[in-house]
């Protein structure tokens, strides 16, 4: 009934966004995550996690696509990205139901 933990490192190198133009590249990123778990009983665990420990700003997904920001503006190509998660702290319980496996 002890503690277990992990320190995780997620890294993505820069990569090409366009098959024709090698200079169009996505920015890479490196993120650290931390987690703890303690078994309370046979069917109950306590979980604690900190994701993106350094609170680094990054883009999770990046694409080079044509877009039009406003109806009366000509369309153009650009790099679009989905923001990555900021520093996030979570805690919870894991409950196991049913017969022991």
pLDDT tens for each residue of 67-94 = 988 889 899 988 889 999 999 999 999 9
Q: What domain range is 17 assigned to? A: 3-56+87-95
Query: Does any domain span residue 30?
Result: yes
Q: Please name the residue that has the structure tokens 């022991």.
A: 100
Query: Does any domain span residue 79?
Result: no
Query: Does any domain span residue 64?
Result: no
pLDDT on residue 40: 93
Rounded CA-CA distance 36/92 in Å is 11
pLDDT tens per residue, range 27-45: 899 999 999 999 999 899 9
* pTM score: 0.75
Predicted confidence (pLDDT) at residue 101 exceeds the cutoff of 70:
no
Task: Report the DSSP beta bridge partners of residue 67.
Answer: 76
Rounded CA-CA distance 6/77 in Å is 41
């Amino acid at each position: 009934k002890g503690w277990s933990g992990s320190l995780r490192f997620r890294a993505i190198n820069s990569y090409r966004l366009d098959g024709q133009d090698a200079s169009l590249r996505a920015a890479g990123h490196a993120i650290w995550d931390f987690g703890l778990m303690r078994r309370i009983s046979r069917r109950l665990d306590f979980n604690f996690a900190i994701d993106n420990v350094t609170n680094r700003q990054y883009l999770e997904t990046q694409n080079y696509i044509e877009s039009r920001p406003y109806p009366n503006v000509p369309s153009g190509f650009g790099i679009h990205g989905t923001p990555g998660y900021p520093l996030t702290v979570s805690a919870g319980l894991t409950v196991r139901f049913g017969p022991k496996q």
